[in-house]
Structure 1
Amino acid sequence: MPFVSEQAPPEVGPDHRRSAATDNIQQLGQINVPTMESNIFCLSVIGQVEGHMILPPQNKTTKYEHLIPQLVAAEQNPRIEGVLIILNTVGGDVEAGLAIAEMIASLSKPTVTLVLGGGHSIGVPIAVSADHSIIAESATMTIHPIRMTGLVISVPQTFEYLDKMQERVNRFIVTHSRISEEKLKELLFKTGEVPRDIGATVGGPDAVRYGLIHQVGGIGDAIRELNRRMEERRAGRPMEVPLQ
């Protein structure tokens, strides 16, 4: 019989443990990070959605090229049964935000979005892209027309491009929420609420009343709703027939 040697795992020295603790403090602000296997994948959209242009280093950003592979992995992973998306974003790149929203809307697994703090500008399509949306009572959503920064050529083609882009955003929001197109346009072109601009700032209860968001709540409500939808999906899944 061949001899098999068992090699003991390498010992973790105090220097390594000290380094790991320091990393946790620097990155997460705590020493012991709770870990557990979960069937829920949590995705956060924080700060400004960064698209094709790199933002300054002092900006807190969410890079869409980082989020899309994570959504693909969550869709392919059989252990992941649901996706929770947490938003606190000021908006950002329109096409990048729409790309994230389209990816979330096309997932086959149950999805729930939770707006904490704010889901402004292009964050609105992301907030409504899930199967169920929740907003904190103190959170707000800023709804305004698309704006461009930098050099803009004042020709009819530029205004036509902006109009078509705005129509894409409006169509997505209306399709994935219960708000009417008329009410959305009313909020888009409202005056007197957004400083030096047109648009509207909608609080949590008003977002539900207008039909943008399904309910007011928090993380507990989001987890319960996601678990309920995952349980319904399990119940509706056909039984696997064992191979003979």
Structure 2
Amino acid sequence: MTPEQPQRHEPAGNGAPESVPKRKRPIRLRNASMTALRQFGQNNIPTDVQSDIHMLSIIGQIEGHMVLPPKNKSTKYEHILPQLMAIEENPKIKGLLVVLNTVGGDIEAGLAIAEMLASMTKPTVSLILGGGHSIGVPIAVAADYSFIARTASMTIHPIRLTGLVISVPQTYEYLEKMQDRVVKFVTSHSNISEDRFRQLMFQTGELVRDVGTVLVGEAAVKEGLIDEVGGLAQAIQKLHAYINENQKNLH
């Protein structure tokens, strides 16, 4: 027996060799989750279970009137405010969970988010994971009830200005007025007194090259800034309790 000879394709009438048809490879359908992960850096959120709770995340730096560099992770206040309005008007959403892991950012943008959050009629619960620093403090206390993870921290410090500062008395008066806005909002939406909050704000010897205080987990609760130490389960449980209470009041 002789081995089979490989098939040869004879030249066509014009003398050119016939083209060998290429084998078609099966097209593999990419998983939607993997595609989302590669393109957007996130997985798809499960949508099979319908929930009456909406989660809103405040992450990175809170961006105000100036656009931050592309490498900065930021939360744009002009994106958050319309979401809060849509949540307030959506009858399917019964409660809002605000999750914070922010370094702070623009004062007026942060206060705008905090004021709008505090004025909502639907139950709101905030949860600090990682950190809720600087202007993130008013946002955290703006909710009806606030939680902080045991290892999460909050930095309280005086406000700062970036860029050109004119060294005149009016500048410092303006800074004092802006600082009063933050202090009064925090103290009116939490259990900490104004004197104690200012004392923590101007404390020296704790932060390197800065003035202020870092509160970690239980310390924020003891100061009256946050209501309770807890995580996601406790926050959702509390929010459901508020929702059930609202439903009873409606009937």
RMSD value over aligned CA atoms?
1.4
Number of residue equivalences? 223
Show structure 1 runs of 5+ residues with no match.
1-13, 239-244
Counterpart Cα distance in 2 of 1:205 and 1:168:
26
Counterpart Cα distance in 2 of 1:92 and 1:29:
24
Which residue does the alignment assign to 1:25?
37
1:25, CA displacement in angstroms? 1.8
1:21, CA displacement in angstroms? 3.6
Q: 1:157 aligns with which of 167, 170, 192?
A: 170
> Which stretch shows the higher mean deviation, 192-201 or 219-228?
192-201
Which secondary structure state, in structure 1, belongs to the residue aligned with residue 30 of structure 2?
helix
Q: 2:184 aligns with which of 139, 147, 171?
A: 171
Counterpart Cα distance in 2 of 1:71 and 1:29:
23
Amino acid at match of 2:193: S
Amino acid at match of 1:23: T
1:29, CA displacement in angstroms? 4.6
Which residue does the alignment assign to 1:3?
none
1:83, CA displacement in angstroms? 0.4
Q: 1:219 aligns with which of 214, 222, 232?
A: 232
Amino acid at match of 2:164: L
Q: How high is the TM-score relative to the length of structure 2?
A: 0.86
* Contact 1:125/1:169, CA 8 A, preserved across alignment: yes
- Identity, in percent, stands at 58
* Contact 1:101/1:125, CA 8 A, preserved across alignment: yes
Q: How high is the TM-score relative to the length of structure 1?
A: 0.88
Counterpart Cα distance in 2 of 1:33 and 1:82:
19
Moved over 4 A (4+): none
Show structure 2 runs of 5+ residues with no match.
1-26
Matching of residue 205 in structure 1 with residue 218 in structure 2: yes
- Cα deviation code 1:126-173 (max 9, x no counterpart): 010000000000000000000011110111111111000000000000
1:19, CA displacement in angstroms? 7.0
**Gap change, CA 1:28 and 1:228, over 3 Å in 2:** farther
* Contact 1:83/1:111, CA 8 A, preserved across alignment: yes
* Contact 1:24/1:33, CA 8 A, preserved across alignment: no
Which residue does the alignment assign to 1:184?
197
Aligned pairs for 1:27-46 (under 5 A) are 27-30=40-43, 33-35=45-47, 36-46=49-59
Aligned pairs for 1:14-93 (under 5 A) are 18=30, 20-26=32-38, 27-30=40-43, 33-35=45-47, 36-93=49-106
